[in-house]
Amino acid sequence: MEVWVTNLQNKVAVSSEFIRRVVTHVLAASGCDDAVEVSVALVDDAYIRELNREYRDVDAPTDVLAFPMEGEDHGPVRMLGDIVVSLERARDQARQFKQPLKREIALLTIHGVLHLLGHEDETEAGASTMWQRQKAILAKFEEGRSPAAPQRVGRAKKKAYG
């Protein structure tokens, strides 16, 4: 598994290795083989607001966006897509929900990876399933062990998810 992390902001500190561990954990828990690749960009609110406006027609910052890439193979490696996380939103939400910043960043990263794997949260049923899966993966990650039985879902169409 290849996980590329690019930090495009300087307002909130987080380790690239931490992000890699979260992504790798979700991929392993979801039954992905080693021949997958994910890119994660860590950004500020201004940057994610531009992306949200361009791809979702929402003129406001959001916490995480995911851009699945269906059928993008690079030789033996399959590119799942890109995740963009606003670390400013993560910091503000961590304060709002009174939880550690690393936990909020992990949750947003898990959410993004699940979108790349085909989960959707645009319907009530999809959101419920996705939130349950997120919580289970986060709990296992925090315990330092892999989640049980991976849940396979269909691949999403190429679009942005927030």
Q: How far apart are CA 48 and CA 60, in angstroms?
A: 8
Task: Taking residues 126-134, report their average pLDDT.
Answer: 92
Tell the burial category of 4 from Cβ atoms under 10 Å away from its Cβ (0-12, 13-18, 19+). Answer: middle
Bridging pattern class, strands 64-74 and 77-86: antiparallel
Q: Give the residue ranges of DSSP H helices in 85-123.
A: 87-96, 101-116
Q: Where do the domains of the chain lie?
A: 2-143
Give the tokens for residue 118.
């085909």
What pLDDT score was predicted for residue 153?
39
Please tell me the CATH superfamily of domain 2-143, with its number: Metalloproteases ("zincins"), catalytic domain (3.40.390.30)
DSSP state of 156: P
Give the tokens for residue 54.
């361009």
The pTM for the full model equals 0.86
Q: Is the pLDDT of residue 150 over 80?
A: no
Q: How far apart are CA 132 and CA 115, in angstroms?
A: 14
* Max CA pair span of the chain: 44
pLDDT tens-place string over residues 23-82: 999 999 998 888 899 999 999 999 999 999 999 999 999 999 999 987 555 667 788 999
Q: Is the pLDDT of residue 148 over 70?
A: no
Task: Taking residues 137-146, report their average pLDDT.
Answer: 84
Give the tokens for residue 14.
């987080």
What pLDDT score was predicted for residue 33?
81
Q: Is the pLDDT of residue 162 over 70?
A: no
- Phi, psi (degrees; rounded to nearest 5) at 13: -85, 135
Give the tokens for residue 150.
């991976």
Q: Mention every residue, 6+ apart, whose C-beta is less than 8 A from residue 49.
A: 59, 60, 61, 62
